[in-house]
Amino acid sequence: MRAYRFDDAHKLETLRAREESVETPQRGEVRVRVRAVSLNYRDIALILGRYVWDAVPGLIPCSDAAGEIEAVGEGVTAFKPGDRVISVFHPRWFGGRPPRGAAMQTYGNGADGWLTQSKVVSQEAVVPLPDGISFEDGATLPCAATTAWTALSGAVPVRAGATVLTLGTGGVSIFAVQLAKAMGARVIATTSSAAKAARLTALGADAVVNYTEVPEWGLHVRKALTGGAGVDCVVEVGGPATVSESLRAVRPGGEVVLIGFLSAENPGIDYFLLKGSNATVRSIGVGDRAALEDLVRAWAGSGLKPVIDRTFEFDDAQAAFAHLEAARHVGKVVIRC
């Protein structure tokens, strides 16, 4: 089989496919014939040194995949050959409090990932993919969609009539727009161009703010778009450069969900702004297996379709990474294996 690894752990352009042996599943394991993989910002952040946790160099990248079971080991009862599955982002986090060391056991930074034609994992590390969802669509769900789901379904879940603020047009943000609208929420989105604003509006965003034209978009959202009330939930993917505006946009008692770290600059957080917001700030790391299962059921029942910006073939994986790094995409970037 062929699998991708980086020749240089710090250079995206050194991604190269190589021949590796096909593993035999042991007791409790399954071997998945990978059919599609989707990329997340973390896949390039790991290589460029921007990730929030350490990473083991030389690993196969990518955490998100869909495929079919081609072999099972002794004692496997959950799956049989031919079953369609998707990967679980946290292979050991089934529910409740994250197990110790979970952040360093995820694919691409602590264990070999899914940018390969075949992979052996525990039967607990995959969940069924409904027949109505293609491999390409299914591969977008384990990280970005589950993260959006976790952001919107916290201690105070988003309900009909709530207002949700999303930032940008990356995978998590697009999924958040789609899911929030399906929940009956009003959605305000930010972006940097008229073309992307049109895409967000087409997906259901009720209002779009161009943050290059309105640098103080947090106050604009609060005063002009919510009548001074503020939003109920901010899906915060920007990181240190945007969190202050998110705190200005959220209502007292609302929630800012910390997800991403797209911005490189770090001006620091104003403590009095944080305290004065009277909001909850919640940091999440995708979600557990139960969250993925809930998301898949909801997604299959909703009839929604993931927004896939572009699909690349397996031989063009390096071009897929370059396309993601260029940050001109809307939604997800997929590699067909």
CATH number of residue 57's parent domain: 3.90.180.10
85 in the same domain as 71: yes
CATH number at residue 226: 3.40.50.720
Over residues 216-243, the pLDDT tens digits come to 999 999 999 999 999 999 999 999 999 9
> Is the per-residue pLDDT at 185 higher than 90?
yes
Let me know: does 260 contact 172? Beta carbons within 8 Å.
Answer: yes
pLDDT in tens, 282-326: 999 999 999 999 999 999 999 999 999 999 999 999 999 999 999
Q: Does 56 share its domain with 108?
A: yes
Specify whether 6 is located in the same domain as 136: yes
Q: Are residues 132 and 151 in the same domain?
A: no
Identify whether residues 255 and 314 lie together within a single domain.
no
114 or 50: which leads in pLDDT: 114
Cα angle at 40 between 39 and 43, to 5 degrees? 85
- State the Cα–Cα distance between residues 60 and 40, nearest whole angstrom: 14
> Residue 177 belongs to what domain range?
146-283
For residue 301, is it within any domain?
no
Tell me the mean pLDDT in the region 114-124: 98
Regarding whether 234 and 161 lie in a shared domain, the answer is yes
Residues 6+ apart with CB under 8 A from 262: 41, 168, 170, 237, 238, 239
Per-residue pLDDT at 200: 97
30 and 68 belong to one structural domain: yes
- Answer whether residue 298 is part of any domain: no
Same domain for 110 and 9: yes
Cβ contacts of residue 219 below 8 Å, gap of 6+? Answer: 245, 248, 249
What is the b/e burial string over 120-149, where b = at least 16 CB atoms within 10 angstroms of the residue's CB?
A: bbbbebbbebeeebbbbbbbbbbbbbbbbb
Average pLDDT over residues 120-149: 97
Taking 90 as the threshold, does the pLDDT of residue 263 lie above it?
no
* Position 261 pLDDT exceeds 90: no
Q: Residues 135, 150: one domain?
A: no
How high is the pLDDT of residue 175?
A: 98
Q: How confident is the model over 50-56, as a mean pLDDT?
A: 84
Do the domain assignments include residue 191? yes
Q: Domain boundary residue among 283, 298, 322? A: 283
**Residue 80 counted as domain residue:** yes
**196 within a domain of the structure (yes/no):** yes
Structural domain includes residue 271: yes
- Has residue 269 got a pLDDT over 90? no
Is 242:191 a contact under the CB 8 Å cutoff?
A: no
Q: Are residues 104 and 170 in the same domain?
A: no
In this predicted model, which residue has the larger pLDDT, 138 or 266?
A: 138
Joined tokens for residue 270? 């104003």
Q: Is residue 272 part of a domain?
A: yes
Would 42 be classed as within a structural domain?
A: yes
The count of domains in the chain is 2
**pLDDT value of residue 163:** 98
Residue 116 and residue 30 share a domain:
yes
One domain, residues 128 and 78: yes
Provide mean pLDDT across the span 117-139: 97
